[in-house]
Amino acid sequence: MRVEVTALLAASRHAYEGRPADGPRPDPEPPLRHAVRVRAGHGIVGDRYAGRPAHARAAVTLLAAESLDHLRAVLGDAVDATPAAMRRNVVLRGAPVDALAAPGRGGTGALFALDSGDGPVRFRAHRAAAPCRWMDTEIGDGAWAALRGRGGVRCEPLDDGVLRLGSAELTILEPAAAVPPDAGHGPSGGMSPPSAATT
What residue segments make up the domains of the chain, in order of their start? Answer: 2-11+32-175
Banded pLDDT at 148 (limits 50, 70, 90): confident
Residue 170 scores a pLDDT above 60: yes
Instruction: Report the alpha-carbon distance of residue 85 to residue 139 in Å, rounded.
Output: 7
Strand partners, 37: 162
Residue 87 scores a pLDDT above 70: yes
Q: How far is CA 11 from CA 14, 68, 107, in A?
A: 7, 19, 30
Banded pLDDT at 164 (limits 50, 70, 90): very high
Beta-carbon count within 10 A of 28 CB: 9
Residue 40 scores a pLDDT above 50: yes
- At the topology level, CATH places domain 2-11+32-175 in M1 Pyruvate Kinase; Domain 3 (2.40.33)
Q: Strand, coil or helix: what is 32? A: strand
For the question of whether the overall pTM of this predicted structure is more than 0.95, the answer is no
User: Mind listing the pLDDT tens digit for each residue in 90-133?
Assistant: 999 999 999 999 987 778 999 999 999 999 999 999 998 866 66
Strand partners, 50: none
Confidence (pLDDT) at 118: 98
CA-based diameter of the chain, in Å?
50
Q: Are the CB atoms for 44 and 115 separated by under 8 Å? A: no
Confidence (pLDDT) at 194: 42
Instruction: Compute the residue count for the chain.
Output: 199
The alpha-helical segments, DSSP class H, found in 42-112 are: 65-75, 83-86
